[in-house]
């Protein structure tokens, strides 16, 4: 399996830490809100057989230095992403990501469609419905291990069995970040970018949208809205999968991404 090398670079608009490796068309995958780029390592190693894979932290999360809450607004993150992509000299990469990372990729493509070859979006954030508002305020933090197991049950079809000590550490981290993440959500909702409904018709690059059938984080009922709002979207559902296809159904996700990306690369080159 291909090794992904860890890299780091300080740019005027922010610090970047990422994994990189493989050969082929460039593929950049952004993690979800508050998540780490490590959630994509397993999928990235599989795809690095056919793509040059880039797995960045979203600035301000993961191993990068925290930012002021207003700096997490999506317009600021888009500007940082373009600065990083230009610094690496990537020419028309595939862009993608999970959840908020998928929305970030879509916003990049909306801003500069000619510079994006295609999109790979895993349960992307950004479509608002009567029953779901992106980046909505999260009420009381989990108070017990059982509460946190309930959160995992919304993320996974089959939640991982974690040792109690490890689960307690994850719970403590979630509690310590709860108010901070709510501050960031509130800042994100201050800009129209948090909601993509009125913009998706203008999305030009071809897009693959993958959605786990058992996603309890972003309702699966939102998946068809992407196809309705953006007709060139190819929507695929993944059975026995929650909100994190890159972790729960790595092989199936890799197969779908490979088929879409390599087919598109051949058509366009």
Q: Is 24 left (phi over 0), alpha (psi -120 to 50) or beta?
A: left
Query: Which range is least confidently modeled, 18-22, 150-154, 222-226, 260-264?
Result: 260-264
pLDDT digits (tens, 9 = 90+) for 49-75: 999 999 999 999 999 999 999 999 999
Delimit the domains of the chain by residue range: 5-135+194-268
Complete edge-to-edge strand list for the sheet that includes strand 14-21 = 5-11, 14-21, 52-56, 26-30, 94-98, 118-122, 207-212, 233-238
* pLDDT tens profile 25-37: 999 999 999 999 9
Percentage with pLDDT > 90 across the chain: 94
pTM: 0.96
CA dist., res. 209 & res. 92, Å (int) = 19
> Which stretches does DSSP call E strand in the chain?
5-11, 14-21, 26-30, 52-56, 94-98, 118-122, 207-212, 233-238
What CATH number labels 5-135+194-268? 3.40.50.1820
Question: So what's the pLDDT on residue 137?
Answer: 97
Report how far Cα 14 is from the mean position of its chain's Cα atoms: 19
| Chain-centre distance for alpha carbon 186 | 19
**Model pLDDT, residue 267:** 58
Query: Is 182 buried (19+), middle (13-18) or exposed (0-12) by CB count in 10 A?
Result: middle
Strands annotated E in 110-185? 118-122
pLDDT band at 265 (very low <50, low <70, confident <90, very high): low
According to DSSP, residue 159 is labeled: -
3-state helix, strand, coil split of the chain in percent (to 5) is 45, 20, 35
End-to-end Cα distance, the chain: 27
DSSP element (H, E) containing 8: strand 5-11
């Amino acid at each position: 399996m291909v090794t992904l090398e860890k890299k780091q670079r300080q740019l005027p608009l922010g610090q970047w830490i990422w994994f990189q490796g493989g050969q082929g068309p460039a593929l950049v995958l952004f993690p979800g809100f508050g998540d780490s780029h490590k959630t994509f390592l397993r999928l990235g190693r599989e795809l690095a057989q056919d793509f040059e894979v880039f797995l960045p932290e979203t600035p301000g999360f993961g191993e990068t230095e925290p930012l002021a809450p207003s700096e997490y607004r999506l317009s600021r993150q888009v500007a940082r992403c373009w600065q990083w992509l230009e610094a690496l000299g990537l020419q028309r990469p595939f862009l993608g990501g999970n959840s908020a990372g998928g929305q970030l990729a879509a916003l990049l493509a909306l801003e500069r469609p000619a510079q994006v070859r295609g999109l790979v979006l895993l349960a992307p954030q950004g479509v608002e419905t009567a029953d779901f508002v992106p980046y909505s305020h999260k009420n009381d933090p989990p108070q017990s291990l059982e509460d946190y197991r309930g959160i995992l049950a919304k993320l996974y079809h089959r939640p991982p069995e974690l040792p109690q000590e490890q689960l307690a550490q994850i719970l403590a981290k979630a509690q310590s970040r709860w108010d901070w993440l709510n501050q960031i959500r509130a800042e994100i909702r201050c800009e129209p970018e948090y909601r993509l409904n009125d913009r998706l018709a203008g999305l030009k690059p071809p897009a693959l949208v993958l959605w786990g059938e058992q996603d309890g984080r972003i309702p699966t009922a939102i998946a068809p809205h992407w196809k309705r709002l953006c007709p060139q979207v190819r929507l695929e559902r993944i059975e026995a999968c929650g909100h994190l296809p890159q972790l729960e159904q790595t092989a199936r996700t890799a197969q779908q991404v490979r088929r879409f990306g390599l087919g598109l690369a051949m058509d366009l080159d």
